[in-house]
Structure 1
Amino acid sequence: MDAISSLPLGGQLLLSGIIALVVGSFISMLSYRLPKHLLENSDEPVLKTISVGGSKCPKCGSNLPWYRLIPVFSWLASKGRCHHCGNPISARYPLIELSTLLLTLACVWQFGLGLQGIAAIAFSWILLTISVIDIEHQLILDNLSLPLMWLGLLLSTQGTFTDTNSAIWGAATGYLLLWLVFHSFKLLTGKEGMGYGDFKLLAALGAWFGIAALAQIILIAAISSIVITVTAILAKGRDKSQPMAFGPFLAIAGWVSLFFGSELFG
C-alpha cells in the first residue's frame, strides 16, 4: 500500500483507472445478476449465482469471447451490437463502467490512495451498485446497504470522515428520520411513499459522514429528485404516477458530501 500511495499522482490515476474499468464491468454484472437471483428466490448460493457462467448476449444467449469483454472499448468497437446475432447490447454496460472510472479517478484525485482514498473508492463502488439496482428494480438490497453502513462505522473509529460518536448517532437518526416520514405519509394517504431500503441507505450515509451531514443529505436528495422528476415528466412525458427510485438521489447527496464536505450549509 505504501508503494502505491508513494507513486506520483499520474501513476496513481493510471493504475486506479485500469482497476476501475475492470471493477465497473463486475458492477454491471453484479447489478444485473444479484437482484435477479433474489427476485427469483433461487436456492442457489448468492456467490455461486453471481460468479458462475460467462457473459452472454441477453438476446441470443451466445457466449461472448474475452475480446468482447474489454470494458467500454469492446462495446464501442462492436457498435453496441452482439457479434453473433447483431441485436443491440444495452448501453448500461459501458455507462456503468465509465461511471465507475470517473468516480474512482475523482476519489484518487481528491484523496490519493491512502486509507481515506481507498475508503472513498469503496464507498463509490457500493453506492453506484445500489443506485443501478434501485433504478432498474426499485430495490435497495440489504446485501449492499448494511455492509456500507458497517464499513462507515468501522472507519469512524479511525476518524476517516467523521468520529465514532457522530457516526453512531448519524446511522440511528438517519434510519429513524425516514422511518417517521414513511409512516406519517402512510397514515395520511394510505400509501407507501418509499421502501425500507431508503431508511438503511440514509443510515449508511449517516454512519459515513455523521449526524451533522444528514440535513444536507436529505435536502440535496429532495431537491435533485424534484428537479430530475419534473424534467423527466416535461421532456419525456413520464407518467406522473410511475414511482421513481429515491436511492440514486440519496447517492447523489452522498457523493456531494464526500467530495465537497458534509457541512456545506453549516
Structure 2
Amino acid sequence: MKTTFKTFFAVLATTFLLASCNDDDAAQMFNNPTGTGDLQVKFDNAYAGNDLILGAPNTVNSQGETLKVNQIKYIVSNIVLFDENGGTFTYPKSESYFIVNEANPASTFIDLTSIPAGNYTKIKFGIGVDQAQWEAGADGQGDFLAHADAQDMMWSWSAGYKFILFEGQFTSATVSSDTAYMVHTGKTGTAYNYTEVTLDLPTKAFVRTEITPSVHIVTDLSKIIDGTNKIALSDHNMGGMGAMIMGGEAVAQISANVPGLFTVDHVHND
C-alpha cells in the first residue's frame, strides 16, 4: 500500500512539473517569440454598415442619392506592421502591391509571409501606387504593371495607375432613372493623390511559426463620396455619359476621404 501511494505521488509530482514546464515554454513563446510566421489581411467591402452586394441598391446617402455598385477595385500597397515594443516591419516593397476586387473573392485576402514573430498592434498601408514606385519606370514595376493593366487599373503608362475604381448606377431627386457613374482616383495633373491609412488593432496579432493571425478590415465604400467630404454625383452628371469623376477637386476630396473608409473589425489568432 505504501509503495502504491509513493508511486501515485511521484506520478502526480511529475505531472505538475511537466505542466509547469509547458506553461514556462508557452510564456517564453509569447514573451520572447522567435523565428518568422505569416499574417493574413482580409478586406471586407461594405456599404453604410451593410454587406456590399454588387448590383443591388444601397441606402440613400446624405446627398439623397441611391447607388448601385457594379465594380469596386482598389490597390493596397506598402504594408507596415507595428509591434507592441514600438518596432516596425515593412513588407518587402517588390511584393507589396495588391488589387482588391470585389468580383474576385480570393483577391480580398492578402497573405503576407516571412514576418518576424512578434505581437503586432497596428497596421499601415497605402491606397494606390506611391509616386517613388511609379517614377521607377515601367521596368521598375515588375509583374504588377501587367497585372494592373489586365485588371483595368491603368489609365495609361504616362497617366499612371487608377488607385480606386468605383462604378455603377445612381438615382437622385433630379435623376429619376438609373444613370451610370464612374469614379476613378489616381494621379491627376500635378496631384498624385496616393493615400496612407494607419489602423490600430483591437487585439494584438500574435505572429508565430505556429500561429497565422487574420486581420479583418471593413471597407465602407459609402464614404468614398459620403465621408468627411460630401460629393454629389448629380453635380457631375454629363447627360448621356453619366456622372464621371476622374480629376479635379473632387478627386482630391475623395482622396482625403480614403482613410475614413477603413476600420479593423477584429483579429483572429488561429
TM-score past 0.5 threshold: no
Higher RCO (CA 8 Å, separation ≥ 6 residues): 2
Q: Which has the higher strand share?
A: 2
Rg larger for: 2
